Amino acid sequence: MNLTLLRHGVTEGNLRRLYYGKTDLPLCREGEEGLRLLAQRGNYPTAPRYYVSGLRRTVETLKILYGNVPYETLSDLREIDCGDWEMKHYEELKDDPAYLRWCEDTAHTPCPGGESFQAVQKRALAALTPLLGQDEDAVCITHGGVIALLLQAWFPVEENENYRRVPMPGTGYQIRIEGGIPVSYCAVPPEEI
C-alpha cells in the first residue's frame, strides 16, 4: 500500500512565522491560491481513503486538492501543542529561559503548557498504526512537523538533519508500506512539476 502524507497549505501563522499548532487557523488567501495552482497540475496520488487532522487548515487543503471526497478525522495527526508559545514569534521568545532550554533539546523538552516533539511523534505513530496493516492506499492531510517526525521514526537521519524533511505547504511524501512496515518514500508531488 501507499500512504501519502501531505502538509496543509499556507496560513497567516506561516506568513508571520509564528509558533502555532493547536490554534485552528484557516488557510489564508495565498495558501488557497497556491494549492489551487498545485492541484491544476494533477500530480497528486488519489486513494480510496482520505484522512485529516481535524484542524480547519487540513480540511480546507483536502477540499482544494481533492474536491468533495469523503474523509475521516485522525485528531492525533494534529500539529504540536506549543502551549504558552502558541501564536508567538521568535522575537517574543528569544530571551525566555524556558525557550532557550527547549532549543537545547526540542525532541524531549515540552513547550511550557504544551508538548514535546517526542510526544507528537508517539501519538502520530499510534494514529497511523491501524492504517499501515490495511491493503488500501490512503492520503492524510496533516502538518509539516508531524510529517518530519513520522519520517524520522521510519527512516532515521541525524536529528539536526530531519528539519530538511519538513515539506513545503501543499507537498509531502508517499510512503510505500509492505507487510505493515514503511520501506521507502518519495516526494509528492514529484519534483518535475
Mean pLDDT for the chain?
A: 94
State pTM to two decimals: 0.95
Average pLDDT over residues 49-77: 98
pLDDT top residue among 192 and 87? 87
Query: For 148-177, how does the pLDDT look when each residue is reduced to its tens digit (9 = 90+)?
Result: 999 999 999 987 788 899 999 999 999 999
Residue 91 has pLDDT above 80, yes or no: yes
N-terminal to C-terminal alpha carbon distance within the chain: 24
For residues 134-171, one letter each, b for 16 or more C-beta atoms within 10 angstroms of the residue's C-beta and e for the rest, the string is: eeebbbbbbbbbbbbbbbbebeeeeeeebeebbbebbb
Q: State the pLDDT confidence band at 88, using cuts at 50, 70 and 90.
A: very high
Average pLDDT over residues 114-129: 96
Residue 97: how many other CB atoms lie within 10 Å:
7
Query: Distance between CA atoms of 182 and 49, rounded to whole angstroms?
Result: 18
Amino acid at 94: K
Query: For 133-145, how does the pLDDT look when each residue is reduced to its tens digit (9 = 90+)?
Result: 898 999 999 999 9
Give me 67's grid cell: 474536491
Q: State the pLDDT confidence band at 146, using cuts at 50, 70 and 90.
A: very high
Instruction: Please give the C-alpha separations between residue 156 and each of 24, 121, 182, in angstroms, as whole numbers.
Output: 30, 13, 12
Query: Distance between CA atoms of 53 and 90, rounded to whole angstroms?
Result: 26
Instruction: Quote the pLDDT of residue 42.
Output: 77
Instruction: Quote the pLDDT of residue 193.
Output: 38
Query: Distance between CA atoms of 142 and 146, rounded to whole angstroms?
Result: 7
Instruction: Specify whether the CB–CB gap between 57 and 64 falls below 8 A.
Output: no
Q: State the pLDDT confidence band at 191, using cuts at 50, 70 and 90.
A: low
Percentage, residues of the chain above pLDDT 70: 98
- Annotated domain spans of the chain: 2-81+121-188
Architecture of domain 2-81+121-188: 3-Layer(aba) Sandwich (3.40)
Instruction: Quote the pLDDT of residue 35.
Output: 97
